[in-house]
Amino acid sequence: MNAEFSRTLSLLRQEKGVSQRAAAGALGISQALLSHYENGIREPGLPFVVRACDYYGVSADFLLGRTLSRDGTTIAAEELYDLSGEKGNSLKGSVLAMLSKKLLVNSVGVLFDLLSKTGSREAIQSAAGYLSTAVYTMYRRLYDANPDNNPDFFSVPPRHFQAGLHEADMKCCEAELSDALAAHAKAKGPWPQMTNDALARDYPVLYQSVLQVVHNTGERVTAISGGRKKQEKK
């Protein structure tokens, strides 16, 4: 099986609001064996997986962590909900939160459009991986800050997260992006125009967001560099 199976099996039972003993009885196994399954100590056979799917009302693909949809269906890109295009959506927040979201959504949109013009699937996937882990990190920091939240929600153990494995993943994605772009350059593939005039022409509305993100980030990085220089002088 995999780590997702044991984690999902445990979360489904907790979501159902039943004890390990009650769930084991309904699934026709001992509590000790169910505990082993939920902790990834032992792997169950196919008959148990089928019974667990029926008991919790989910598909085998969901139980195995192969899809986020409980009925096992996969989601195509055109089916994904696009919050960025909705006016007056239900996600309300402070002015600062809404502004930050728009700046990032617009900038990421420009980034992936530029990457798509290279035609490099590897570059797109590595950039997506890097940004996904960045979002995961911020989401998890917020989630973990509330001691009432269930730490088992995430498949990465707290000790591994605190050790910085997510940062290692981002570094790997960054390295993969560099390799993909280097390979693209070696193959003399097409590149998007990224001069100021070209970007302003191609993204007349969104480019302002990119400039703002570049400016804000540049100021933070410069401040860090300036602080280090001051320390070196001391």
Whichever domain contains 13, its CATH number is: 1.10.260.40
Distance CA 142, CA 12 (A): 23
Residue-level pLDDT at 11:
87
Residue-level pLDDT at 98:
76
Is 18's pLDDT higher than 90?
Answer: yes
pLDDT in tens, 200-219: 899 988 888 899 889 989 99
Query: First vs last Cα of the chain: how many Å apart?
Result: 56
Range of the domain at 111: 91-117+192-234
Same-domain status, 153 and 169: yes
pLDDT in tens, 149-196: 988 888 888 999 999 999 999 999 999 999 999 999 999 999 999 998
Same-domain status, 162 and 111: no
**68 belongs to a structural domain:** no
Same-domain status, 135 and 225: no
Confidence of residue 35 (pLDDT cuts 50, 70, 90): very high
Helix (H, G, I), strand (E, B) or coil at 227: helix
pLDDT in tens, 116-136: 999 999 999 999 999 999 999
Residue-level pLDDT at 233:
60
Q: Which residues contact 142 (CB under 8 A, 6 or more apart)?
A: none
Distance CA 171, CA 8 (A): 28
Q: Residue 133: CA atoms inside 13 Å, Cβ hemisphere, count?
A: 18
Residue-level pLDDT at 80:
46
Same-domain status, 7 and 103: no
* Helical H segments across 57-164, by residue range: 60-63, 95-116, 121-145, 158-162
Is 225's pLDDT higher than 50?
Answer: yes
Distance CA 109, CA 106 (A): 5
**81 belongs to a structural domain:** no
Same-domain status, 97 and 200: yes
How far from chain centre, in Å, is Cα 94?
24
Same-domain status, 128 and 177: yes
Query: What is the rounded average pLDDT of the residues 8-37?
Result: 93
The mean-pLDDT minimum among 21-25, 78-82, 101-105 falls in 78-82
Q: Residue 50: CA atoms inside 13 Å, Cβ hemisphere, count?
A: 3
Same-domain status, 138 and 174: yes
Same-domain status, 199 and 97: yes
**43 belongs to a structural domain:** yes
Residue-level pLDDT at 77:
47
Is 234's pLDDT higher than 70?
Answer: no
**86 belongs to a structural domain:** no
- pTM attached to this predicted model: 0.64
Total domains, the chain: 3
